[in-house]
Chains A and B, each alone.
Chain A
C-alpha cells in the first residue's frame, strides 16, 4: 500500500493535481482539468480528482487530506494604502506582495472621494491600510479609515496595520462599518523597520475564512478539507525551504523566477546587504524574502511590450512572428513549431531579463571631498548562488539555460546588482508550488522532492 499525498492547484485556467508517493518521494501521477470557477469550482476539481484516482491506486487515501493552493478568480487582489509613498505605502505594497497578493492599486496621503470611488470600482479582495510609525502620524490613517468606513458600498476586507497609537480611534471608526476589518501590528513600527509576519498571518486567515467565500471558491474546501493558500505563498514557501534546508543543508541564497502568461514574478531569498565600501540610504529595509510582480511582463498578455523591449535591446525580431503572436493570443497556448518556439524564447528571455533588473538593487555614484561614494538602492544579489526558473515559457523552452542566463549580471549594466556566479535550475516538473504545499506538513520530503526534480541547466 502506497503512502500518497495529493497536492492541488486551483488555477484560473486549469485545476492541477499531482500525486506524490511519500515513501519513494516521487511524482506518481499528475492530471489537470479546466477550472470552473465561474460556474461551480467543484466541477473542475472533481474532474481532476477523478482522473487521478483512475491513474493511481488511492487505497484508503482521503481526498480531504489533500493540500491546496489557488490563484483562481484573479488571485488575492489587494489595494495598499499608506501615508508617504516611499515609506508606509511602499511598506504596505511589499507586505501584500509577500502575502502572495496581486497589488492592483496603491494610494498615499489623505484619500480623496474620487480615490475611494476608484477603490470601490477596483473592488479588491482586501485593503491593507497602513500609515504612521508607532507614535507617529495619526491624522492621515484616521482620515483614510473614515473615508473607507463611510463608503457603505465598499465590501472589501480591510486589514489595519498602521500607527498603534491610532488603534482605539480606528476601532471606533470601523465599529459599524460594512467591511470585515482586522487589526494587526504596524508593518512599519519605526523608520527603517519592516514588520510583516503578524500582518501576513492575518491576511492568510482572512483569505481562508472570508475571501475564498467571496470569490466563490469556498466550496472547494468541502472537498479538499481545510486549508487553501494563495499559490504565490506556496511558491515562496518552497523557495524559502530550498534556500534554508532543514538543518542548514539548503542551497543558500537563491532567486526563483516565474514567467507566466499574465505576469513575471521574481522571488529572492537573500540578505542583499551591500558589499564592502558600499552604503545604503534606503528609506525602507529590504525584506530577506522579497517578491516582485511585473504586471507588464506577462509572456502572453504583454507580447507587444516584450517585443518592443526586445527591439530596444537589439534582439533581432523575425517578421514571421505575427503568426506566432496570433497563436499565442490564448493564454494557455503552447508553441507548436520552430517559429513559435523561437518567439516564445525571445518573450521569455526579455521578461526574465527585465523582471530581474527591476527586482535587483542598483548602484548610484556620489562624489564627495573624500572621493566616490557608492550608494546601493535595493538588494545586492551578486552573491546569489542559484537561479531557478519556473512557468511554462521557461520550462517548455528548448534551452531554458539560455533564458535563465538573462537573470545574471551583465558587464554592460554594471550598476545592476544581479547574480554573478549562479547555477541555473529549471523546474521541469512544475514541482515548486506542490513542494511549497507539502512543506506545510512535511518539509523534509518537500525538500527531497525539489532536490530530485529541479534540473540544472
Chain B
C-alpha cells in the first residue's frame, strides 16, 4: 500500500530567514509530499511535537544564521525519547560561521544525528532525489 509521506519544515531557534524554508516547502509540496510548515523561529521541541502529532517521516530544518549547531544540541536524543527516533533528519543552509570547509560542517551535523546535511546553495531536486532514496531504503513508497 502506498502512503503519503509527511515532511515537517521550518527554521530553527531565533533564525528568521523565511525564504529558504518557503521555497523548500513549495518544492516538496509540488513533488507530492504532505508538507507541514512550521515557519520561522521554531523551537527545536516544536519540530518534535509536530512530527509526533503528524507521524511525520522527515524533519527538514533550514538555518541561515550560523547557530544551528547550538540550537540542535541533543536534538536526536530528544527525538529518540519522544518515539520518533526513526524520523529522517535533514538540515541545510549556512550552518556554521566562519567555517568554509563544508565537509567539517557535514561531519559535525552527522554526529548530531542528521541523515543529510546541505550547504547554502543546494539544488532542491537533489534533495528530493535523496529523500526518495532514503525513504525507499526504509521501505516506504511515495504516492502522488
Contact = CB atoms under 8 A, between A and B. Distances in A.
B89 to A, nearest CB: 15
B66 A191 contact: no
A1 interface: no
Most buried by B among A131, A136, A192: A136
B26 interface: no
Q: Please provide the 8 A-B residue pairs with the shortest distance between their CB atoms, ordered closest to farther.
A: A137-B83, A136-B83, A136-B82, A84-B77, A87-B81, A84-B81, A283-B74, A191-B78
A304 to B, nearest CB: 36
Interface string A342-384: 0000000000000000000000001111000101000000000
Given A86-B77, A132-B81, A369-B65, 4 more contacts: A84-B81, A132-B83, A191-B48, A192-B45
Contacts, number: 59
B66 A136 contact: no
B45 A191 contact: yes
Given A136-B52, A191-B48, A87 B73 contact: no
A281 interface: yes
Contacts of B67: 368
A318 to B, nearest CB: 46
B70 A87 contact: no
Interface string A135-146: 111110000000
B80 interface: yes
Interface string B81-93: 1111100000000
Contacts of A138: 83
B1 interface: no
Interface residues of B, number: 18
A131 B83 CA distance: 10
Contact of B82 (A191, A283, A366): A191
17 contacts: A83-B80, A83-B81, A84-B80, A87-B81, A132-B82, A133-B83, A135-B83, A137-B82, A139-B83, A191-B78, A191-B82, A281-B74, A283-B77, A367-B97, A368-B67, A368-B97, A369-B65
A88 B65 contact: no
A141 to B, nearest CB: 10
A188 B97 CA distance: 35
Interface string B46-90: 001000100000000000011100100110011011111100000
A136 B70 contact: no
A163 to B, nearest CB: 8
B78 A137 contact: no
Contacts of B97: 367-369
A133 B81 contact: yes
Contacts of A373: 70
Contacts of A86: 74, 77
B83 A366 contact: no
A298 B103 CA distance: 47
Contacts of A281: 70, 73-74
Contacts of B81: 83-84, 87-88, 131-133, 136-137, 188, 191
A448 B87 CA distance: 57
Contacts of A369: 65-66, 97
Contacts of A188: 81
